[in-house]
């Protein structure tokens, strides 16, 4: 009897075995979505705490209007938070290499939850300071472990979207924090309007800042429970567990040819750890490029424009009431969230990173030049009363909105994923840790130095300076940033 299999059947069987697994599965989406919620916690905590520190009932509850050694007690909170956050990023670089990305993220969440519980449940200023330090440590660790885990889990054709979701969640967290404080509006307004109230009154209204902190603590605990059940990064996992992680992520049998193909593509991870000093010696060009990208992102002026001048421009234009300073936060956060979502959904994995970054540079340069011109020739700033009068408010508002959209669409969605792609598996955790420490340091400098250098230079000079800085950034991007879109991590060499 003739039993030979036909060539056509052989070809079909061969094609079936070589067929790659689906690029997006339910478990893969969950495994990248849960770490991205760490970005949500970062943005939410920032908005909640920034608002809480300005509440008179909170200040009375902890500090009673006192100065410590002639300085503002909130300076200690800022110093403690940022110093511990920077330390957390560097510590996370070691923990991610030794214990794994998954365990490092779980540990970061537990530290963060402990800090928030201390902030929420105790009534002493020193305890609140310790809680903020622990929260900063946890946030710093999350800013490293979460992007590294997401970058190593995501397939090449969806990496920009899935890793960029961390930045999207930061924006969503800020917006959610705005709505949470808006929901607490009656109690906040009562506390702000009763500066001479008794101690019992302040204690009765303390839930207006305790409740939002409790929400983030509960979310952190929920994330710990879910993350513990998700697979580890196959690029870090042990040799015998890497295939199992790939099979779980892509919902394929562990002995399928597709899993074998992906496992061979990833290769066997060398557990030999690299120190920060070795990283500085062996990856000089990559570190220079990554540092330049972080500094260029800082010099876009996005934090300066949105945090310091957007509310003043909206108020001078009649779009915001003086008694509702959170309105600008909600408006700008909603606009940035929408722009980033469109970019991540349809652009970042279909166009070159360099082209999108250059597009953002050109658009933001035009916005800064427009704002600088309005402040220089069509506005009056009374530095004694802090009053801003605009002769061309429509131009200023258009520039602000266009800048917010351009930044969220390009730089805000691409910087983090680009940094994760530039470093190899053995040095990714420590490389990203150094860059996140630099990001936090620039934010710290921005927050402490912005008020006085604004008064020294004036708004028009600042906008012209940022326009010039963006021109330099555009040259840097054109020279240094490679195209990593849809390329496997193992094929990227910077």
Summarised one tens digit per residue, pLDDT across range 112-151 is 999 999 988 776 778 888 999 999 999 999 999 999 999 9
Cα–Cα distance measured from residue 223 to residue 422, given in angstroms and rounded to the nearest whole number: 28
CB 52, CB 216: distance < 8 Å:
no
Same domain flag for 409 and 320 = yes
Alpha-carbon span 319 to 398, nearest angstrom: 13
- The model carries a pTM of 0.88
Answer yes or no: is 155 within a domain: yes
* 3 assigned to some structural domain: no
The C-alpha angle 22, 151, 483, rounded to 5 degrees, equals: 90
Domain count, the chain: 3
H or E segment and range at residue 281: helix 276-282
Q: Can you give the residue range of the structural domain that contains 222?
A: 22-233
Please, what is the average pLDDT of the chain?
Answer: 82
The pLDDT, as a whole number, for residue 321 is 54
Of 120-124, 135-139, 315-319, 377-381, give the range with the top mean pLDDT: 135-139
Pairing of strands 387-390, 379-382: antiparallel
- What pLDDT is recorded for position 317? 67
Considering the domain architecture, whether residues 444 and 359 belong to the same structural domain is answered as yes
CATH number, position 438: 1.20.1250.20
Dist. CA 347–CA 355, nearest whole Å: 11
Q: Is residue 422 part of a domain?
A: yes
Evaluate whether 421 touches 159 at the Cβ level (below 8 Å).
Answer: yes
Average pLDDT over residues 297-312: 79
Residue 269 has what pLDDT? 54
Q: Residue 309 falls within a domain, yes or no?
A: yes
| pLDDT recorded at residue 4 | 42
Q: For residues 244 and 362, state if they share a domain.
A: no
**Which residue has better confidence, 220 or 66?**
220
Is residue 146 one of the residues assigned to a domain? yes
Query: pLDDT tier at 329 (50, 70, 90 boundaries)?
Result: low
Using the predicted structure, report yes or no on whether residue 465 has a pLDDT greater than 80: yes
pLDDT at 144: 97
Same domain, 92 and 200: yes
Query: Is the domain of 360 the same as that of 476?
Result: yes
Averaged over 369-378, what is the pLDDT? 87
Whether residue 410 is found in the same domain as residue 332? yes
Residues 254 and 332 in one domain: no
Average pLDDT over residues 42-69: 74
Same domain, 356 and 323: yes
């Amino acid at each position: 009897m003739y039993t030979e299999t036909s060539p056509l059947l052989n070809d079909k069987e061969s094609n079936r075995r070589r067929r790659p697994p689906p690029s997006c599965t339910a478990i893969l989406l969950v495994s990248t979505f849960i770490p991205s919620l760490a970005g949500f916690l970062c943005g939410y905590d920032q908005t909640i705490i920034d608002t809480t520190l300005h509440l008179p009932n909170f200040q009375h509850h902890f500090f009673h209007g006192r100065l410590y050694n002639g300085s503002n007690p909130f300076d200690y909170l800022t110093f403690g938070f940022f110093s511990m956050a920077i330390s957390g990023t560097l510590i996370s670089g070691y923990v991610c290499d030794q214990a794994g990305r998954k365990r490092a993220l779980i540990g970061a969440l537990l530290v963060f939850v402990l800090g928030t519980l201390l902030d929420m449940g105790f009534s002493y200023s020193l305890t609140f300071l310790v809680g903020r330090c622990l929260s900063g440590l946890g946030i710093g660790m999350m800013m490293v472990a979460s992007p590294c885990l997401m970058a190593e889990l995501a397939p090449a054709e969806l990496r920009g979207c899935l890793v960029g979701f961390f930045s999207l969640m930061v924006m969503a967290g800020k917006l959610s924090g705005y709505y949470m404080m808006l929901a607490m509006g009656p109690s906040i307004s009562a506390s702000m309007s009763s500066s001479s109230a008794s101690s019992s009154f302040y204690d009765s209204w303390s839930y207006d800042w305790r409740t939002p902190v409790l929400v983030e603590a509960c979310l952190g605990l929920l994330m710990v429970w879910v993350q513990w059940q998700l697979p580890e990064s196959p690029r870090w996992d042990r040799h015998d567990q890497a295939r199992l992680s790939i099979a779980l992520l892509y919902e394929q049998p562990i002995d399928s040819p597709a899993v074998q193909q992906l496992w061979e593509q990833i290769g066997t991870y060398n557990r030999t750890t690299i120190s920060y000093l070795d990283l500085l010696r062996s990856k000089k060009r990559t570190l220079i490029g990554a540092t330049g990208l972080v500094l260029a992102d800082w010099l876009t002026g996005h934090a300066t424009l949105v945090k310091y001048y957007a509310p003043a421009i909206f108020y001078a234009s009649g779009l915001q009431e003086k008694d509702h300073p959170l309105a600008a936060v909600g408006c700008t956060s909603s606009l940035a969230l929408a722009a980033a979502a469109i970019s991540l959904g349809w652009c970042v994995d279909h166009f070159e990173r360099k082209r999108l970054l250059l597009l953002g540079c050109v658009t933001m340069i035009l916005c800064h030049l427009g704002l600088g011109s309005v402040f220089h020739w069509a506005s009056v700033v009374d530095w004694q009363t802090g009053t801003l009068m605009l002769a061309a408010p429509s131009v200023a508002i258009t520039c602000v909105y266009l800048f917010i959209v351009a930044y969220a669409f390009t730089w805000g969605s691409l910087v983090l994923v680009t940094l994760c792609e530039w470093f190899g598996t053995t040095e990714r955790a420590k490389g990203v840790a150094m860059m996140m420490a630099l990001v936090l340091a620039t934010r710290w400098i921005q927050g402490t130095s912005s008020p006085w250098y604004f008064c020294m230079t004036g708004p028009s000079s600042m906008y012209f300076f940022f326009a010039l800085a963006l021109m330099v950034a555009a040259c840097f991007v054109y020279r240094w940033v490679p195209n990593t879109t849809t390329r496997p991590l193992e094929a990227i060499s910077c």
